[in-house]
Structure 1
């Protein structure tokens, strides 16, 4: 058997294992967050407590992604991947024992939710920064696409399966099942075969001077700043991060104006809105599946700019049913088609960003860069939703899609101008390899 065939078998095995592991992890986290929200509403009847469950799920990721990135660059990513999944299983099993022995309490619920979000943050960053250590360069797009598929399936099926389990399974048993599922994911991570880490990466350790906490924090700060400066020195990497930041900001408007326009302005039913919203996930899943089989994109930058331009036009088109008279069924079909295409285009944008960053970033900085990207993307979305929500109270709703679309066009134009000044990914990668020898 030749070397290429061996590498292909290795890649296929790793891709299958991490796809199953990521899918189980995403389903477990998504189901738990959904079920816990329902139990909180049933237990307290408080919308504020329900909102707190969402915050507990989001805040650790925003705050800890940079720290997770530093850890991913300073220790074995394989150990971090396995450890974060094993920790998720332990959190669920301890929550099960606590609930079974002492009954359900808000302290148990919120503590388990926060800890699960912490584990998920470390798992996500370690997995994102490990793809180049799991597959060959020509399979990066396929691996990234399947990674996106697992996320999409988890987000789609999580609430559905969670709703079924909520109706038939007691919460303590749900915790037990979830813990067992995370153990399966841990075994998938354990079975992954990583390429040997580079000498530079394997010798880097996060240490504390004299064993003190102050020394540890100083070491962490220096490591983070080093990674941040590395990202800023590259026109391509920093341009991609800024572009992802602003894309998430303007896309967040969709979560605000779409339900308002459909339910309040057009008076469509909640069931019709649910169907329209589901088309976004369907489009993302469809495009992810297509890219997992398609030949790797030859010019990711060109695909990225094309995708952003189309997405800008789609956002602008969201205002048409408010400016032109549509029949009720016409508006429903219009938004269904539009959201399906939006889902397709979002993946058409995301995959080039991921592939370019995977190929461009030096291995010893990959965790920190993806941690920074994760934090910036996660933090801007809630802020965007708040701002666009305030806009809905001040101006007619049809202006919001127009503002969002025009803003994205401006970002695309500025981003394209900046990225074209950067070396191509292959050139950057080659120069980095030469400098590290």
Structure 2
């Protein structure tokens, strides 16, 4: 990671360092709150419902955040969003320290943080092409994705230890400090900004900007629309199952402790880090027309995952099923990370800078729209089939395979310029 950072300029490096601090705090907080909810309820349905509700703002706020990112100084926006996150977590800390940390309070706080994160994400993504040149853009996106993976590795491992020893309160304080330090770091970034003239009021202007982004995706660059539909299907069937299923399987089905759960999350995130670091090698081979191959590999990985949770296999002991589950999940995350970085780079290269924030945000909102529904469905399924979760996993594998075939058909020879 250090070698990669030396390739870029000081301002990009400052943004990345700020991301490391901020995402580290967010990672351990999300981990702690997921354990907190599961420990209080023991129900996947409640856990999934809270995740789903906190995801809803992404659908609504992401396009608005993208339009704002294109209209205002991106550096200042990052500072404001991190300070806001720090203040929000501080409020949660006050509730927890007064023994008022109910499920409702946690749900509200998670929703607020989700709104802030949704506004924050397009700002970072649209800043990357401004801070680095086009020849280094794929690698820069790999670094940004690698940072997320790196913090997700360290966060759950340390979070599992801290949660078991000190409890959720200590993790909330660490997260609050992390967001604050990230905001301070971002204040030193120097980023070019040309203020846009606007004849309409700010609200009308933002919605006109969102409309421009939709037109670009639907009419000017239809390949992005096809990628959006594929991503929505993957979020509905694959990602939602992973988000709800992995914590439930490890904690409830396998009965693993918090530290082992944190280690599993860290190992899975490590695969995303490896994918991000090695994106330079894949950039020469991955194309729009062969994305389906990566999806087929994901589909195959659900077979050993289902095997790992089969009742007779679980009766042999925890070690082997746990290892099979983690390795299968790691390979799935590796492939999906490669696909994600490639799709982001295509969007950045083919979208004018003045539209980039809103276009990426619209794509992000579209893919996120499938998440709440998927999370609620899988929450119900895991509670209903708690002793036969392998059925759910096999079903997801079959659906993923069909998505791969569909992607091959609709993307074949559709955009030769992406395949050079």
Give the TM-score range, shorter chain. Answer: 0.7 to 0.9
Question: What is the CA deviation profile of residues 272-316 of structure 1, one whole-angstrom value per residue up to 9, with x for unaligned ones?
Answer: 77665554222222222333x647435432563321121122224
| Native 8 Å contact 2:292 2:404 kept in 1 | yes
Residue 132 of structure 1 deviates from its aligned partner by 0.8
RMSD over aligned Cα atoms? 4.1
Say if 2:118 is the partner of 1:125.
Answer: no
Q: CA distance change for structure 1 residues 163 and 335 in 2, over 3 Å: closer, same or farther?
A: closer
Partner of 1:5: none
Partner of 2:338: 348
Structure 2: segments with no counterpart, 5+ residues: none
Q: CA distance change for structure 1 residues 263 and 355 in 2, over 3 Å: closer, same or farther?
A: same
Partner of 2:351: 361
Q: CA distance change for structure 1 residues 34 and 273 in 2, over 3 Å: closer, same or farther?
A: closer
Q: CA distance change for structure 1 residues 218 and 270 in 2, over 3 Å: closer, same or farther?
A: same
Task: Tell me the distance in 2 between the aligned counterparts of 1:254 and 1:129.
Answer: 28
Q: CA distance change for structure 1 residues 204 and 164 in 2, over 3 Å: closer, same or farther?
A: farther
Partner of 1:412: 404
Question: What is the CA deviation profile of residues 59-108 of structure 1, one whole-angstrom value per residue up to 9, with x for unaligned ones?
Answer: 43343112111211222323322322233344456777x679x9565598
Structure 1: segments with no counterpart, 5+ residues: 1-7, 209-215, 429-437
Where do residues 249-264 of structure 1 align in structure 2 (5 Å cutoff)?
249-251=236-238, 252-255=240-243
Where do residues 296-375 of structure 1 align in structure 2 (5 Å cutoff)?
296-297=283-284, 299-302=286-289, 304-320=291-307, 328=317, 330-375=320-365
| Native 8 Å contact 2:18 2:183 kept in 1 | yes
Task: Tell me the distance in 1 between the aligned counterparts of 2:83 and 2:245.
Answer: 39
| Native 8 Å contact 1:80 1:123 kept in 2 | yes
Q: CA distance change for structure 1 residues 330 and 14 in 2, over 3 Å: closer, same or farther?
A: same
Partner of 2:191: 194
Partner of 1:237: 224
Partner of 1:211: none
Partner of 2:143: 146
CA radius of gyration, larger in: 1
> Equivalent residue of 1:117, what SS?
helix
Say if 2:269 is the partner of 1:281.
Answer: yes
Q: How many residues matched?
A: 403
Partner of 1:290: 278
Task: Tell me the distance in 2 between the aligned counterparts of 1:193 and 1:86.
Answer: 18
Where do residues 361-400 of structure 1 align in structure 2 (5 Å cutoff)?
361-391=351-381, 393=384, 397-400=389-392
Question: What is the CA deviation profile of residues 107-138 of structure 1, one whole-angstrom value per residue up to 9, with x for unaligned ones?
Answer: 98666554433322222121012211111112
| Native 8 Å contact 1:303 1:348 kept in 2 | no
Q: TM-score, normalised by structure 2?
A: 0.78
Task: Tell me the distance in 1 between the aligned counterparts of 2:247 and 2:34.
Answer: 20
Q: TM-score, normalised by structure 1?
A: 0.75
Partner of 1:270: 256
Task: Tell me the distance in 1 between the aligned counterparts of 2:50 and 2:338.
Answer: 32
